[in-house]
Amino acid sequence: MPGIPDKSIFIVGFSYIHLHKDEIFLGMDEQDEIVVFRKFETSIEANIIKAKLDAYGIPCFLTEENMANLYPGASSLMNFNVRLHLFARDQARAKHILEENHLVIDDDSVLRCPRCKSRKIERDFPKKLSLTFGSALNTLFFGIFFPHKKIFRCLDCEFEFNE
With a cut of 70, say whether residue 37 has pLDDT above it. Answer: yes
Instruction: Give Cα 135 distance to the centre of its chain.
Output: 37
pLDDT digits (tens, 9 = 90+) for 74-128: 656 677 789 999 999 999 999 999 987 666 656 667 788 999 988 888 888 777 7
Q: Could you tell me the residue ranges of all domains in the chain?
A: 33-99, 109-161
CATH architecture of 33-99: 2-Layer Sandwich (3.30)
| pLDDT for 68 | 79
With cut-offs at 50, 70 and 90, classify the pLDDT of residue 18: very low
> Closest by alpha carbon to 149, among 129, 127, 126, 128?
126
The pLDDT of residue 21 is 43
d(CA 35, CA 24): 21
**For position 124, what pLDDT does the model report?**
81
Phi, psi of 50 (to 5 degrees): -60, -45
